[in-house]
Amino acid sequence: MLNKVPLAEQRAGSGAPPGTRRRTWIGRELHHFRNNRELFLLSLPGLLYKLIFAYIPMIGLIIAFKNYRYDLGIFGSKWVGLDNFRYLFTTDTAWRITRNTVLYNTAYILVGTSAALLLAILMNEIKAKWSKFYQTALFLPHFLSWVLVGYVAYAFLNHSDGFINRTLESFGLNPVSWYQNAGPWPVILILVQLWKVVGFNTLIYFAGIIGINSEYYEAARIDGATKRQMAFKITIPLMAPIIIIMLILSIGNMFRGDFGLHYFIPNNSGFLYGSTDIIDTYVYRALREVGNVSMSAATGFYQSVVGLVLVLTANGIVRKIDSDNSLW
């Protein structure tokens, strides 16, 4: 995504003409700045916005090392060193939310990527007219909020009137209190997640497949390749860059769970925290329901730092193997 134009080439456009009087470093920079000031001004609102809403909160992370009090503010509150972290890691909460976040994300990535790739490859086999129709249907949930999907889930899982329990009863089986029974939730969440995102991911991979030069397939057909051979020998290798970029991004987000999915689908039910709670829902509850600001900040800090390390590692590994496919 980032541009890779050599620095020398970029400087050429704005550099001082050769043979001018020698200037000090500051003088030169000022000169360059004057040449670039209009473009800089164009980007200024965006830069300021990011400063306030992205960079200043990064400074606010020091709350994780303080005992935050609203009346004293970020800088007035007392330092407590690593106490917040010690507290977080001595209870089993840290382990539970970390495990859930990582396992769920791994499952979403594995299930989601393979399902979407498979559907994209299959979609490439059918007439465009039909594939448009299926795309629209599969894409639909992508545009609805998790809250709304929460209603859909509720219509199915509601204890007394829900579709699933009524169906179970009609077969003479006992109804299940879905919102009080933690056992089946990993499966429910994976299915709901797949249901919501598979259309979008299929579309991204499908767009990639369409972009593959059809001559490869022609040549393979002449050589007598089967459909399956074409998928494994042409489509998947040529799709590797897109797949890898998507994977790096999702690995970097390994520690960032989908709040909406884990909050609205289980309906924030306390019975289910053991198997549905992730770092994000925990941080939200610690802040809004429990009111433990510092603890919540410490958890958020842990999440951000590990997330950064993960994405850097993932990108580093990919760059080692094949530098063309890395993100930067």
Partner 1 sequence: MGKKFEFSKLFINLLFTVLSLVVVLPFLLVIAVSLTDEKSLNENGYQFIPTTFSLDAYRYLLDAPDILLRAYGVTFTVTIIGALVGLLLTAMTAYVISRQDYRYNRATTFYVFFTMLFSGGLVPSYILITQYLHLKDSLLALILPILLSPFNIMVMKGFMSKIPLEIIESAKIDGAREFRIFFRIILPLSTPALATLGLLISFTYWNEWFNAMLYIDDPNKVPLQLLLVRTLNSIEFLTTNSEFTGQLGIDLSSFPNSSARMAIAVLAGGPMLVIFPFFQRFFVKGLTVGSLKG
Which of residues 138 and 234 has its CB atom nearest to partner 1 in the complex? 138
CB of 280 to partner 1, least distance (A): 8
Q: Say how far apart CA 69 and CA 62 lie, in whole Å.
A: 13
Cβ partners under 8 Å of residue 281, min gap 6: 257, 259, 262, 263, 268
Q: How many CB atoms lie within 10 A of CB 109?
A: 16
Structure tokens at 233: 């020998």
Which of residues 277 and 280 has its CB atom nearest to partner 1 in the complex? 280
Which of residues 234 and 243 has its CB atom nearest to partner 1 in the complex? 243
Residue environment code for 249-273, b if the CB has 16+ CB neighbours within 10 A, otherwise e: ebbbbbbbbbebbbbbbbebbeebb
In this structure, are residues 279 and 101 in contact, taking their beta carbons and an 8 Å threshold? yes
Which of residues 93 and 135 has its CB atom nearest to partner 1 in the complex? 135
Q: Say how far apart CA 290 and CA 100 lie, in whole Å.
A: 21
Q: Say how far apart CA 290 and CA 23 lie, in whole Å.
A: 60
CB of 154 to partner 1, least distance (A): 7
CB of 96 to partner 1, least distance (A): 19
Q: Is 145 helix (H, G, I), strand (E, B) or coil?
A: coil
Which of residues 234 and 265 has its CB atom nearest to partner 1 in the complex? 265
CB of 182 to partner 1, least distance (A): 15
In this structure, are residues 249 and 105 in contact, taking their beta carbons and an 8 Å threshold? no
Burial level of 81, CB count in 10 A (0-12/13-18/19+)? exposed
Q: How many CB atoms lie within 10 A of CB 220?
A: 16
Which residue is associated with the tokens 């800088």? 75
Which of residues 35 and 113 has its CB atom nearest to partner 1 in the complex? 35
Which of residues 5 and 90 has its CB atom nearest to partner 1 in the complex? 5
Which of residues 104 and 196 has its CB atom nearest to partner 1 in the complex? 196
CB of 108 to partner 1, least distance (A): 17
CB of 22 to partner 1, least distance (A): 19
Cβ partners under 8 Å of residue 120, min gap 6: 202, 203, 205, 206, 208, 209
CB of 19 to partner 1, least distance (A): 20
CB of 183 to partner 1, least distance (A): 18
